Structure 1
Amino acid sequence: MFRIWAKMIKDNHLLRDIVIEDDSTERTRTKKIFHALDEVCHEFDLSKPLWLEVTIKDFKKHDKTRFFQDNFIEQIEFDYLEIHVIEED
């Protein structure tokens, strides 16, 4: 089971969160991450964020990262969107 926890944060308060599960065996880890992020954006009605160098570096190092306004083309009404891998088999 592969699970990602996504949190929308504003002023250090949790606005929304969701856990996306993926138990497919056909997808690679990278495809599971992108698929989960797509589902999060669909559920939160957001445009897909851009993966900047710092975003990729943080995710590789900590299995979590934050998407700030710089990652989005559209204006966002929260401080950041955080994704975190919480379970991986």
Structure 2
Amino acid sequence: MSGSIYRNGQIVKECVSRQEDNSMSRTDRVLTALKEICEYMDLAVPIWLQSNINEFRRKSITAFRSDSFVEPIGFDYLRIEVIEE
């Protein structure tokens, strides 16, 4: 899964997390990858809002905006995407 931080329409930081443990469910692999991406980017793990869940189910992509974070963020959004399954 890839994670990218966007500010003013530009990627300012990105990271890829590989989760290849097929004994884990897809959900667990996604959550583990998101945690790794956030640790690398020194971010708190965002809250999954219903809109994130719906978008991720449809497209395997979602963007976490400021309303998904407990603390203020210095960017527009964090976008995650499953890049290979």
What is the TM-score when the length of structure 2 is the normalising length? Answer: 0.97
Give the corresponding residue for 1:41: 38
Higher percent of residues as strand: 1
Structure 2 unaligned blocks of 5 or more = none
Structure 1 unaligned blocks of 5 or more = none
After TM superposition, the structure 1 = structure 2 runs for residues 45-56 of structure 1, keeping only pairs within 5 Å, are 45-56=42-53
Shift of 1:25: 2.1
Matched pairs, number: 85
Give the corresponding residue for 1:20: 17
What is the TM-score when the length of structure 1 is the normalising length? Answer: 0.93
Amino acid at match of 2:3: A
Helix, strand or coil at the partner of 1:65: strand
Helix, strand or coil at the partner of 1:32: helix
After TM superposition, the structure 1 = structure 2 runs for residues 1-89 of structure 1, keeping only pairs within 5 Å, are 4-88=1-85
Shift of 1:52: 0.4
Q: Percent identity?
A: 34
Alpha-carbon distance between aligned partners in 1 of 2:51 and 2:73, rounded to the nearest angstrom: 19
Helix, strand or coil at the partner of 1:82: strand
| Alpha-carbon RMSD | 0.6
Amino acid at match of 2:14: D
Moved over 3 A (4+): none
Alpha-carbon distance between aligned partners in 1 of 2:31 and 2:73, rounded to the nearest angstrom: 20
Helix, strand or coil at the partner of 1:58: helix
Alpha-carbon distance between aligned partners in 1 of 2:6 and 2:40, rounded to the nearest angstrom: 15
